[in-house]
Amino acid sequence: MAAILAPSPHHPVVGDRRPDLRLVPGGATRPDLAVTYRRRRIVAGLLAVLVLAGLVSGSRALLAPLAEPASAGPVASASAPGGSVSVVVRPGDTFWTIARRAEPRGDIRPLVDQLVAAHGSSSLRPGDTITIPT
């Protein structure tokens, strides 16, 4: 049980003497405090669950592009004349991912530059066809 003490207005402070204190009714009782603490714990638990769910969904969204399955080579739709391969762009493909599938090892920057120049723009849409020189 909590008690609130306040100086009594009927006994003024004289000198260095402490004032007389009186009990003020209306302090918090134990059952009220228990309900408050229980409510705070429930709210804190719900917030922790929400934060954890946000972290899980955010990490999935951030790590999804990294979970692309590795392919042995480009997905060829048809062979073009002159020893080149035509590739159909899939959702999430970039010039870099297509070039890496075409050349699994080594520097792919020259191939990326060739693909961008041959395509005519730096943006790809799913369903576009790109010709990769071999």
Domain count, the chain: 2
Domain of 98, CATH number, reads 3.10.350.10
**End residue of a domain, out of 18, 44, 65:** 65
Q: Is residue 15 one of the residues assigned to a domain?
A: yes
**End residue of a domain, out of 41, 65, 89:** 65
% of residues, the chain, pLDDT over 70: 63
Q: What is the pLDDT of residues 6-24, one digit of tens each?
A: 666 666 666 666 666 667 6
Q: Is residue 71 one of the residues assigned to a domain?
A: no
Q: What is the pLDDT of residues 95-113, one digit of tens each?
A: 888 888 888 888 888 988 8
**Residue 83 pLDDT:** 67
Q: What is the pLDDT of residues 52-85, one digit of tens each?
A: 999 888 887 777 666 655 544 444 444 555 567 8
Residue 98: count of CB within 10 angstroms of its CB? 22
Residues 51 and 92 in one domain: no
Residue that the structure tokens 């969904």 belong to: 57
Which domain range does residue 25 map to? 4-65
| Dihedrals phi, psi of 85, to nearest 5 degrees | -120, 135
